[in-house]
């Protein structure tokens, strides 16, 4: 698509339709059942269900039968529950599930209601929009675009691939940071245990001797005494700081300031920026490939970005594109994104393959996020070990110095 044509893309936005009452008023969104508050629907489950629905539609099944088959599959893979019994309300779901002691998953109940809404005349996107806590605006708008273009199964496959890569990247990051986090928790626990139980019983002997103690021992005794006397201050300070920070982050200025400061952190700032760029580029690329106009796609992506400072920059990009700028120049004006991102997008505009360029950016930064995470882990592990060794070494030194002095006197 030429640059000029891309800049004047003013198609009517593809809106996710919603279910309507008989009088034309929209039906309010539904909430998850109260008993399912703790049984959250994971991105992994949503990804699997999306791919299965796409496969059923690609096989030629109409939407309602495909949803029915999907509900049956979800019910057959419910969670174990020993006291499960079929109720009258669940009689239509008697598929050998309840007598096996399986509890219907929350997603099965949601998809069953979606099926009923579609069967009653709602569009699939409208039925999904009834559950904004389950299906994001990206998901709903892409389904609406797929329905409008007649390529719903292709759009669902793109959605499944996007969710799969998001789950895979999140899993890699979690596995990388799990070990250093566990080491940090153990280190703090060991130090607190030594200062609370072991050291006081030993230093009490030195205090009873009425001798002048070395400064490391005196400092250690002061720390132990402070912890013993004012130990309630620690949890109180943590709770107060938590609520103060939460209240500050709820304000727009506080959230933007915090998110901006995170991007300036040494080592971690670049990692967070790469992670946001990867999520942003992949989502925007999938939206554009699904036929959603650029302005609406930028608005939808704004809700996906977790960093509000970057989200504000995207708002500016959307405004500039709406006034006639091309997207590459608008992104460059934010001075937030690396030059390579701008050049890849500009090249994609000229060649008419901006979606492919965005997906390439996402793949590139996914790899960089994984590599950076592993590098940070390799740096954090020895740093935590050195810190733990230094603290424990100081404690041991503070305990042994008086003993050496006593031995020299004897």
Summarize pLDDT for 263-314 with one digit per residue, the tens.
Answer: 988 878 888 899 889 888 988 988 888 888 889 888 888 877 888 999 899 9
Confidence of residue 30 (pLDDT cuts 50, 70, 90): low
The pLDDT of residue 78 is 57
Over residues 101-113, mean pLDDT? 76
Separation between Cα atoms, residue 406 and residue 385, nearest integer Å = 32
pLDDT tens per residue, range 296-307:
888 888 877 888
pLDDT greater at residue 165 or residue 22: 165
In terms of Cα–Cα distance, which of 254, 398, 280, 410 is closest to 337? 280
Separation between Cα atoms, residue 277 and residue 306, nearest integer Å = 11
pLDDT tens per residue, range 45-97:
889 999 999 999 998 899 999 999 999 988 887 544 444 444 333 433 333 33
Over residues 385-408, mean pLDDT? 82
The pLDDT of residue 405 is 72
Instruction: State yes or no: pLDDT of 364 exceeds 90.
Output: yes
pLDDT greater at residue 384 or residue 88: 384
**Run of H or E residues at 103:** strand 102-103
**Run of H or E residues at 64:** helix 63-76
Largest CA distance in the chain: 98
Over residues 143-148, mean pLDDT? 87
Q: What token pair was written down for 300?
A: 């939808």
Confidence of residue 407 (pLDDT cuts 50, 70, 90): low
Q: Tell me the angle at which helices 43-58 and 152-193 cross, rounded to the nearest 10 degrees.
A: 160
pLDDT tens per residue, range 206-216:
777 777 788 88
Q: Tell me the angle at which helices 252-263 and 268-289 cross, rounded to the nearest 10 degrees.
A: 110
Instruction: State yes or no: pLDDT of 151 exceeds 70.
Output: yes
pLDDT tens per residue, range 233-261:
888 998 999 999 999 999 988 999 999 99
Q: What is the pTM of this model?
A: 0.71
Q: Is 102 helix (H, G, I), strand (E, B) or coil?
A: strand
Query: What is the distance, to the nearest Å, from the Cα of residue 48 to the centroid of all Cα atoms in its chain?
Result: 18
Spatial contact of 295 and 13, defined as CB atoms under 8 Å apart: yes
Give domain 3-135's CATH architecture: Up-down Bundle (1.20)
The pLDDT of residue 246 is 92
Instruction: State yes or no: pLDDT of 7 exceeds 60.
Output: no
In the chain, where are the structural domains located? 3-135, 163-410
The pLDDT of residue 103 is 53
**Run of H or E residues at 399:** helix 354-409
Over residues 177-189, mean pLDDT? 83
Over residues 4-10, mean pLDDT? 36
């Amino acid at each position: 698509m030429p640059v000029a044509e891309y800049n004047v893309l003013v198609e009517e936005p593809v809106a996710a339709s919603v279910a309507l009452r008989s009088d034309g008023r929209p039906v309010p969104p539904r909430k998850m059942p109260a008993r399912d508050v703790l049984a959250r629907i994971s991105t992994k489950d949503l990804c699997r269900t999306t791919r299965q629905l796409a496969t059923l539609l690609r096989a030629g099944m109409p939407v309602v039968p495909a949803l029915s088959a999907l509900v049956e599959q979800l019910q057959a893979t419910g969670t174990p529950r020993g006291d499960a019994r079929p109720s009258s309300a669940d009689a239509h779901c008697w598929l050998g599930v309840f007598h096996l002691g399986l509890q219907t998953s929350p997603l099965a109940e949601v998809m069953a209601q979606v099926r009923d809404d579609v069967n009653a005349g709602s569009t699939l996107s409208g039925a999904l929009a009834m559950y904004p806590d389950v299906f994001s605006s990206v998901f709903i708008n892409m389904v609406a675009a797929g329905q409008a273009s007649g390529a719903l199964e292709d759009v669902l496959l793109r959605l499944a691939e996007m969710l799969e890569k998001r789950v895979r990247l999140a899993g890699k990051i979690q596995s990388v940071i799990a070990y250093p986090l566990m080491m940090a928790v153990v280190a703090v626990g060991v130090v607190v245990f030594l200062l609370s139980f072991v050291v006081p019983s030993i230093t009490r002997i030195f205090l009873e001797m009425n001798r002048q103690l070395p400064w490391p021992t005196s400092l250690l005794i002061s720390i132990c005494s402070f912890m013993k006397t004012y130990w309630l201050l620690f949890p109180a300070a943590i709770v107060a700081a938590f609520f103060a920070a939460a209240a500050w982050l709820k304000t727009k200025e506080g959230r933007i300031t915090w998110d901006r400061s995170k991007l300036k952190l040494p080592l971690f700032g670049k990692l967070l920026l790469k992670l946001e760029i990867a999520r942003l580029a992949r989502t925007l690329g999938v939206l554009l490939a699904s036929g959603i106009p650029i302005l609406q796609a930028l608005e939808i992506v704004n809700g996906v970005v977790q960093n509000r400072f970057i989200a504000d920059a995207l708002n500016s990009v959307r405004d500039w594109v709406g006034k006639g700028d091309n997207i590459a120049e608008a992104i460059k004006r934010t001075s937030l994104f690396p030059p390579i991102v701008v050049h890849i997008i500009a090249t994609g505009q000229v060649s008419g393959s901006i979606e492919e360029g965005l997906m390439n950016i996402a793949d590139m930064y996914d790899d960089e996020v994984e590599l950076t995470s592993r590098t940070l882990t390799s740096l954090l592990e020895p740093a935590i070990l050195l810190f733990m060794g230094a603290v424990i070494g100081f404690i041991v030194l503070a305990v042994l110095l008086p003993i050496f002095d006593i031995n020299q006197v004897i």
